[in-house]
Amino acid sequence: MIHTDIIIIGAGPVGLFTVFEAGLLKLRCHLIDSLPQPGGQCSEIYPKKPIYDIPGFPSVLAGDLIDNLMEQAAPFKPGFTLGEAAVTIDEISEDGKQFFIVTTDKGTEHKAPIVMIAGGLGVFEPRKPPISNITDFEDRGVEYIIKDPEFYRGKKCVIAGGGDSALDWSIFLTDKKIASEVTLVHRRSSFRGHLDSVQKVMDLADAGKIKLVTEAEVVGLEGNGKLDHVVIKHDKEGEIKKETDHFIPLFGLKPALGPIADWGLEIEKNAIRVDTSDYSTNRPGIYAIGDVNHYEGKLKLILCGFHEGTLAVQSAFARIHPDKKNVLKYTTVNGVNGF
């Protein structure tokens, strides 16, 4: 049994910043995340993607933001249970005090008086193209998420999609000279991504560094135990067979609440309804912060999640220490070590 003051479910940017805010109030945190490393989507899906709306950073790569948040949280020594998903939340009473027991899919138990759900949009599943035998090649040449770009070093890659992920990874694997060949396939002639990314892809295609195939889609996969060809259906040229080592369809992810839906929380619009005074849920002692919550005027932005976590921690302190007065202190005066 892992004991702490606050169990944070979700180790994305909002969960990590909450560790810092809790640390300023001398509250210990332990984070649970189904991913094998902290950072949530920022680490798992787009670590090399720039983020432009973090205050004080005109531009910061998602992966670098997570590194900074980890460094910011480090003085308060958070605990981590990674690679395990929280599946149940039970309540117990000891000596007249309420505690929660959060158990993961691997049986790890955590005990605390406060739970903060910072699980982003919940559980994600990739949107798969309708190719009949695609599951036969999963982990044998088909990947839905690029986790480590070095995995594609010297390989021929076919990327499918028309959004930011498809554009950004096509550019990255080409610009960094990681993949030996990058082909981007999109069913339309126009793209949905940022205009500067679209222009960059067009420039690379004109220079012969990216093979751009538009008005087309991958409809078939071939290989003996491992992928070696994709079949592309082109609107004008018909069927094209292309040799490749990897097919990476980047059509986004489908969010689902997963086990969260069974925790007795008020759900609205596939998210957890909260009180905006402190982002508490209908279960006292459980808070929801970041993209996983819903309220009137909700904006799914990282910076909004930072604000929500800050107020939730203040409320949590009052629940844990009802007899103590919390006087707001400023880090500009006290630093971090002064808390």
Residue 47 sits in the same domain as residue 97: yes
In a domain, 16, yes or no: yes
In a domain, 133, yes or no: yes
Residue 43 sits in the same domain as residue 120: yes
Residue 289 sits in the same domain as residue 312: yes
Residue 59 sits in the same domain as residue 160: no
Summarised one tens digit per residue, pLDDT across range 154-210 is 999 999 999 988 999 999 999 999 999 999 999 999 999 889 999 999 999 999 999
- Count of CB atoms situated within 10 Å of the CB of 285: 20
Summarised one tens digit per residue, pLDDT across range 33-50 is 988 889 988 887 778 788
Please say which residue of 251, 280, 299 terminates a domain.
251
Q: Which residues are annotated as a binding site for FAD?
A: 33, 41, 46, 86, 124, 291, 332
In a domain, 316, yes or no: yes
Q: Are 313 and 25 in contact (CB under 8 A)?
A: yes
Q: Are 265 and 282 in contact (CB under 8 A)?
A: yes
Domains: count for the chain: 2
Residue 112 sits in the same domain as residue 167: no
Residue 225 sits in the same domain as residue 288: no
Residue 113 sits in the same domain as residue 32: yes
pLDDT tens digits in sequence order for the chain, 339 residues long: 999 999 999 999 999 999 999 999 999 999 999 888 899 888 877 787 889 999 999 999 999 999 999 999 999 999 999 989 899 999 999 999 999 999 999 999 999 999 999 987 766 678 899 999 999 999 999 999 887 899 999 999 999 999 988 999 999 999 999 999 999 999 999 999 889 999 999 999 999 999 999 999 999 999 999 999 999 999 999 999 999 999 999 998 776 788 999 999 999 988 999 999 999 999 999 999 999 999 999 999 999 999 999 999 999 999 999 999 887 777 877 777 766
In a domain, 270, yes or no: yes
In a domain, 89, yes or no: yes
In a domain, 339, yes or no: no
Q: What is the CATH number of the domain that holds 221?
A: 3.50.50.60
- Count of CB atoms situated within 10 Å of the CB of 257: 18
Residue 215 sits in the same domain as residue 328: no
Residue 14 sits in the same domain as residue 79: yes
In a domain, 111, yes or no: yes
Please say which residue of 251, 275, 303 terminates a domain.
251
Please say which residue of 229, 251, 273 terminates a domain.
251
Residue 80 sits in the same domain as residue 184: no
In a domain, 25, yes or no: yes
Residue 164 sits in the same domain as residue 309: no
Residue 10 sits in the same domain as residue 110: yes
Domain that holds residue 222: 128-251
Q: Which residues are annotated as a binding site?
A: 33, 41, 46, 86, 124, 291, 332
Q: Are 176 and 153 in contact (CB under 8 A)?
A: no
Question: Euclidean distance between the first and final Cα of the chain, in Å?
Answer: 28
